[in-house]
Structure 1
């Protein structure tokens, strides 16, 4: 355990001294794209000004030759590397703190020029907010070396306290940023999981409803197959055996469907004994919506040859959800419901005008109703589309085939 801990801290030291830099972050100017074109020129002017100010202060030390220019360049270089390479900027700062002290006035409180002092503090604050804690410990210790060695006793403690304060504040900023990122990622994950769960619950509900419809038809097949030999005269023995086989297969299918329903139905969901709704129940639902204050018009002529129960059930549920969405998001708007039967498909359309006011975030919900309507249409091999209308409002269109083929509507 101790050996592993030593190796961990040794890797952190190598990372601080000569390891790869921290990954770049999103530039703050991305939030203000209009200012981005001016950032480069303004930054260049600031660096030139700092270079000139540093050069002016270094002339007081009477340094020989081009040494003042080299010291001024070394003072400004960390600020140039700081936005994208903070660790490199800190390393250059340490070199500057160790070298830019020649011919300093003996009575000066600081052995460095003011630009280097302020730049070093800025670099240290940025590095503290970007690197992990182990690397930050080494950064702090190595930064304190030139402070302890070169700053006079009267100011040494104050400088060390300032350095330690910057390290702690930077680490708090980094921890807060990481916490916000983790919270945002967890929130996004929770939303995706909630959407996935809603879709799965809707599919399960559709499967249960289709089970009830199909089970009814299978029961009718079994009963008709068992009673057919008694309703027909002179039925050959071979035909009786075939009717018995049909009835037996239908009952086996019913048994398998009941087992499937036991898997789909949750423990908290009891058996549904009420008949599933269909097209014949649309007028009663529309009347209930009108009594609730929704202005609804219904255009749903009865199909000539009847509609299979799965398509009728899907049409009823789509209209039901469409009316609920109109009541939530377009209160007071007129709603038109159209269910037009074709030779092979039902064309369902729910259209509402623009509402009087915008719905609040709580009223909008998570939008799982549209996912449920789409699942019902696709389960029958149909199509589904929903979106804003040209003149305002919202339109929901679904095509529900009787036999899995696109029909005319």
Structure 2
């Protein structure tokens, strides 16, 4: 017979007596927590010292115990409360033997067999254990704690009243512990969901980038193949080794193009048809800005999409810049409707810098939308895959997106 409930029932008392303690409660702390923590520790130490002195005085005056016995017994009554929050099982293990040792020289005038400080300390420790410990462990602690109660308490009504109190503490502590576990599980599930959404957004954006990069690179591979195939006919008196080399180059280009198309077939989802339109670039950004204006946005374009020396940037850089501006304009329209937007392009000899700023919402022209939160992830991935940098965040009451896209795939600006 191997019943899990029976096994758990027998493991609970073993852990209560000699098992590992429960770890301290973690969680997010306020930035001011270190200062408050020191104040609470100091106040707690003063309170424990005062209670220890009061317990010692009670044992000496009421029971006539010598200091050599009264002081250790009073310290044993308050010490568990000092460690209960971090080591609840250890605190209970210290408290429980003192329930038997604390009845020494009991006088007939005392209503309870334990001094008041010891009773308060034990109830505090048991309350912490009821909240922190598993149901089985806390239940066994309550049952064992009732034994000295009925042994040393002469009034049965008092014993029954404390039994009801301990039972109520067990039930309340169990409910608090279960609720905290549920809240912790919900927080962890929410964090896992956010991580999964972010991971899925990265994968989806990488797939889209791979498809677009395929279209860019495929154009150049096709040109290489065509030029290599027509070179023997365009150039006169080519030697046979040169013709053979041009044929090999054309074959390699065709093979690479076929492999890229097979890769695109794997990356493209079943619901997405083939993309036959040419990919946009830097030259299409002015038209993109004009479309945003026609949609009702106030957009200003500054700078030129072409470097000063007239060198055309790589198509991959132009595509990334276009997509970043496109997503930034969409975010501005969604989250800051009515705000003025400024698109700045600075094309240098080694990199192009794209910056999109929007002011705070100009007025009640719309309600800020709630997006998926994946737009920034996609823009960051595009810049990172090109070896560039990307920053985004609030600035001057609005929002700023800035990306630096190097032409050679290595950003040496910082």
Same fold (TM over 0.5): yes
The verdict on how the C-alpha distance between 1:158 and 1:253 changes in structure 2, with shifts beyond 3 A counting, is same
Alignment of 1:111-126 (within 5 A): 111-126=113-128
CA distance in 2, matches of 1:8, 1:405: 60
Are residues 1:377 and 2:383 paired? yes
Are residues 1:178 and 2:181 paired? yes
- The equivalent position to 1:334 in structure 2, one of 322, 335, 340, is 340
For normalisation by structure 1, the TM-score amounts to: 0.83
CA contact (8 A) 1:297 1:335 kept: yes
Report the counterpart of residue 315 of structure 2 in structure 1: 309
Q: CA deviation at 1:121?
A: 2.0
Report the counterpart of residue 401 of structure 2 in structure 1: 396
Report the counterpart of residue 188 of structure 1 in structure 2: 191
Report the counterpart of residue 304 of structure 2 in structure 1: 300
Report the counterpart of residue 17 of structure 1 in structure 2: 17
Task: For structure 1, list consecutive stretches of 5 or more residues without a partner in the other structure.
Answer: none
Q: CA deviation at 1:117?
A: 2.8
The verdict on how the C-alpha distance between 1:337 and 1:80 changes in structure 2, with shifts beyond 3 A counting, is closer
Q: CA deviation at 1:75?
A: 3.0
CA distance in 2, matches of 1:167, 1:99: 25
CA contact (8 A) 1:29 1:35 kept: no
Report the counterpart of residue 132 of structure 1 in structure 2: 134
Q: CA deviation at 1:174?
A: 1.9
CA contact (8 A) 1:332 1:356 kept: yes
After alignment, is 30-39 or 287-296 more displaced? 30-39
Alignment of 1:220-299 (within 5 A): 220-231=223-234, 239-298=242-301, 299=303
Report the counterpart of residue 39 of structure 1 in structure 2: 40
| Count of aligned residue pairs for this structure pair | 406
After alignment, is 298-307 or 228-237 more displaced? 228-237
Q: CA deviation at 1:130?
A: 1.6
CA contact (8 A) 2:350 2:406 kept: yes
After alignment, is 43-52 or 185-194 more displaced? 43-52
- The equivalent position to 1:349 in structure 2, one of 332, 355, 366, is 355
What is the aligned-residue RMSD (CA, Å)? 3.7
The verdict on how the C-alpha distance between 1:113 and 1:337 changes in structure 2, with shifts beyond 3 A counting, is same
CA contact (8 A) 1:342 1:407 kept: no
After alignment, is 237-246 or 304-313 more displaced? 237-246
What secondary structure is seen at the aligned counterpart in 2 of 1:335? Answer: strand
Q: CA deviation at 1:269?
A: 2.3
CA distance in 2, matches of 1:280, 1:64: 95
CA distance in 2, matches of 1:288, 1:255: 36
CA contact (8 A) 2:55 2:74 kept: yes
Report the counterpart of residue 327 of structure 2 in structure 1: 321
CA contact (8 A) 1:339 1:348 kept: yes
- Post-superposition CA distance 1:8-46 (Å, at most 9, x none): 655543432244433233599976555434324432443
Task: For structure 2, list consecutive stretches of 5 or more residues without a partner in the other structure.
Answer: none
What secondary structure is seen at the aligned counterpart in 2 of 1:206? Answer: helix
CA distance in 2, matches of 1:71, 1:406: 70
CA distance in 1, matches of 2:244, 2:86: 84
Report the counterpart of residue 50 of structure 1 in structure 2: 51
What secondary structure is seen at the aligned counterpart in 2 of 1:22? Answer: coil
- Post-superposition CA distance 1:23-78 (Å, at most 9, x none): 23359997655543432443244334434554565467544444555544443333
For normalisation by structure 2, the TM-score amounts to: 0.82
Q: CA deviation at 1:204?
A: 1.1
What secondary structure is seen at the aligned counterpart in 2 of 1:38? Answer: helix
Q: CA deviation at 1:206?
A: 0.5
CA contact (8 A) 2:63 2:107 kept: no
CA contact (8 A) 2:335 2:368 kept: no
